[in-house]
Chain A
C-alpha cells in the first residue's frame, strides 16, 4: 500500500511539472492555432537561468528559491516575447506549415546554441530551496516534491484568475474565439499575443526550475522529451482548454509513473505517444475539449 501511495505522490509531482509546460502550449495554440515547438526549449532556458542565478545565491533558503523562480520566469517571458516578435509575427497570416517549420528551426537553434554555449555535459542544479525529507508511516515525502506541487498549484490558480477575471485575460479568450471579431471590437491583437507568449513562457520557465529542482541534472537537450509529453498532455485534455491541459498532464504523469515502476518501464516514452495516437483516433477533441467545425 505504501508503494502505491508513494507512486501516487511521485505521479502527482511529475504531472504538476507537465501541467506547467502544457499550459503554455495550450494557450498559444488557443490564440494562434499552432504548436510552438520552441516552447520546450524555453523550459530549458528557464532551468539554465535558474542555474546561473542560483549559483550566486546562498542555497537552501525559501527566499533564495523564490528569487530564482522569479528571475527565470521574468527572463523567459522576455525570451518568449522576443521570439514571437522576431520570428512568428512576420509569418502571421501565411500558411501554417511555414510557421511550424520556423518553430522547429527555432527549437533546434536554441538547443544547439545551448550546447555550444553551455556545453553538452549535464550540470548539477544547485539546491535552492531547503532540501528536507519527511517520513510519514514509511511514505517518503521530499520537500522538493511538495514545493513542486505547491508552486504549480499557485501558478495555475493565478493563471485561471488572469484568464477569467482580468481584462487582458478576457481579451485573450476573445482572440482565441475569433481574432477578426476581436480586432473589430478594438482589441490590440499584437499586445494580446505578446502577452500570451510571455505568460506561457513564464510558466514553462517555472516548470524548468521545478523540474531541475527534482532532477538536478540539466543539459541543453533536457526540454525535448518533457516538452513532447507535455504537448501530449495538452492534446489529451483538449488543446486550447486550460483546465484540460492540467487534467491531461496529471493523468499522463500518473500513467507514466506507474508504468515506470512496472515491468514495462523501458517502454514508458512510447506510452506517451501511444496515448497521443489513441486520443487522436478516438477522441480528437480531447477529454474536456469540444470539436469545433472549421469554417471556410
Chain B
C-alpha cells in the first residue's frame, strides 16, 4: 500500500440551509477543497460521496453535475453516522492501492429540524414498540451507555454535563460551528431532560452541512504541494460491531471502538500520548465520556477523574489531551454524512496551522485522530500525522 496525504480540505459552516439542495451543499464543500488543494475538478480521478438520508439519490454524481461532469468513477457511501468517514476511507484506499493518484471524499447531509432519530419502524403502527417495549431512540440508547458507566464506576451526571460545558466553550472559537454559545454547568444540569442523564445541551443538534477532502499519492504531493507540508493518513480503520452479549439489545458502542483504536494506533505506530488532538463522536455527552476510555486517553473507569482534572479541554483553558476543540458534535453540529469528513478537516487544520482554525489551534500538533461511530454499528478512526 502507498502513502496517502491530504492535500486540501473544505467545509461549509454547519447550520440550516433550507433553500439549498444536498448536491449544492456537497458541491460547495468540494469547490472549497479543490481551491485549498490548488487543483481543478478535472484533476480528480475518483469521488467517494457520503450521504445518509438520501443515499438512494446518486448524490455523488449529482454533485459532479453541479461542479464538473468528468466521467470519473463515483461511489455513494452510506454507513450511518460513519458515512463521511467511510467515504474518506474509500478515497484513501483508492490512492493507497494505486488505483488513482488524486481522489476526493465528500460528506454531506441536509437534516433540517429532524428531531429525534431511531426507534420507529414501518407497518401497522399498533406494532411499533417505541415507548411500549422500551426505547430505541438515540437519546435513550446513548443515555444508557452513560448509565452503564455510572453503574460500573460511580460516574455522576455532573461529569457528563461538564463535557457539554467544555464543548460549548470550544465552539465559541469555531466560525464553522452551528452553535457558538457558552453554557454554564448550571445551564446544562437544569436544561430540559431529553433522556436521562442527557439534557438538551448534552444532545447534538440536527442540521445541514458538508465537508470535503482531497487525497493524493506521494508523487502527486511532491508535484502539487508547492512546498506546503501536508498530513499523511497514518491509519484509516473501519470496524463493525463484534458479537457481544447485549449488543443486539443495547448497541455496544465501546467494543468496536476499542478494536478500531487498537488497530489504528498499531498501524500508525503511535499511542494515545502522541495524539495532540482528538475529534471524537460526541453525539451525546455520555458517548464522549465512554470514548475517553475506549480511545485510551485515560484508563478504564478513570473518565470521571480525567474530566475533573481538565482532560479534554483545550490547552489554552488549562486542559490536557484536548478533545473536540471544534466544539464537537454537541455544538458544531452533526449533519450525519458530513460529520466524518468535517472531523478530518479539523484535525488537518491543526496539523497544518490552517487559518480556518487560527483561534483554536492546538500548539505543536504533530498527530491527531478523528473517531466516528455509526450506530448499527460502524466505527472509523483516522489518524493523521505531519
Chains A and B belong together in one complex: no
A residues near B (Cβ < 8 Å) are: none
B residues near A (Cβ < 8 Å) are: none
